[in-house]
Every structure is written in structure tokens, then in C-alpha cells.
Amino acid sequence: MRVIGETMSTVRKLGSIAMVVLAITVAACTSSTASPPTSTTTSTRPPPTSLPPTSKFVPAMGVVTGLAEPCTGPPTDLPSHVKVQLHSGLTLVASQTVRSGARYRFSVVRGSYRLTGWWGSEDVTVRVGHTVTANFLDTCD
């Protein structure tokens, strides 16, 4: 029995020593004489703008819209469609085909454009936050 008692005593002493060594190691890893780290924040939000809190957001786009009717001649019961195209220079920017008398609508960045269709063409200038209206009505009666 004496051997078991001595073994248990040795195990307790080794356990106590291990706990002291562990405590010293942890304390050494966490203590530092350097100044505390500075705070850094990583965010996916964009930086705040310089606009005052009462300012309204102004979109970077303008709108070209209007009614479009086909050149049909005498009235018929058949629904007709009108193709309206918007060009910037030689580049086709947008195109819509709408039913007769329906409204077309293009949201575009500011600039000069040319609307084209059966009526020929019309130049429009789009400003930020404004709507340009160009109606193309049936004049073929």
C-alpha cells in the first residue's frame, strides 16, 4: 500500500507543477508592455458622403418617354405595334416595341440622343433627374 500512496503523492505533485507551468505560460503569452492595439474596423459599407443630412439624393439618370402610335391610315380593329429606338451617336442604346397608344420609357445617363421610328427621328437632350417627353402620334389618316 505504501507504494500506491507514494505514487499518488507523486502524481499530485506533478499535476500541481504542470498547473503552475501552464499558468505561467498563459500569463507570459498574454502580458505585454506594448501599448494596447488600435481599433480597426473593416466594413463593406461605402464611406459617408459629404452631403448635409437634409440633402435629397439626385439620380444620375434621366428619362425619355412618350406615347407611340403607328402610321395606320384608316382605323382598324387590329392592334398595332410601334418600335421606338434610342441612339447615342451611331450606337443603339435601347429599343422597345409597344402597342399602339402605349407609353415607351427609357432610363439613361445624361446626354444627347436620337429617337427613331416610322416617323423618322427626333433629337432629345437628357438631363440628370429630368424627364423628356416626345409623343409620336398617328398622322397618316
Q: Which helix (H) or strand (E) holds 25?
A: helix 2-30
Q: Could you list the beta-strand ranges (E) of 77-134.
A: 81-88, 91-99, 102-109, 111-117, 120-126, 131-133
* Domains defined along the chain, listed by start: 61-133 (2.60.40.1120)
This prediction's pTM: 0.54
**CA count, 13 A, side-chain hemisphere, 52:** 2
pLDDT tens, the chain, 141 aa long: 555 556 656 656 666 665 655 556 555 555 445 444 443 434 444 444 444 555 565 558 999 999 988 876 666 656 678 899 999 999 999 999 998 889 999 999 999 999 998 878 899 999 999 999 999 887 775
Closest of 134, 132, 131, 133 to residue 117, by C-alpha: 134
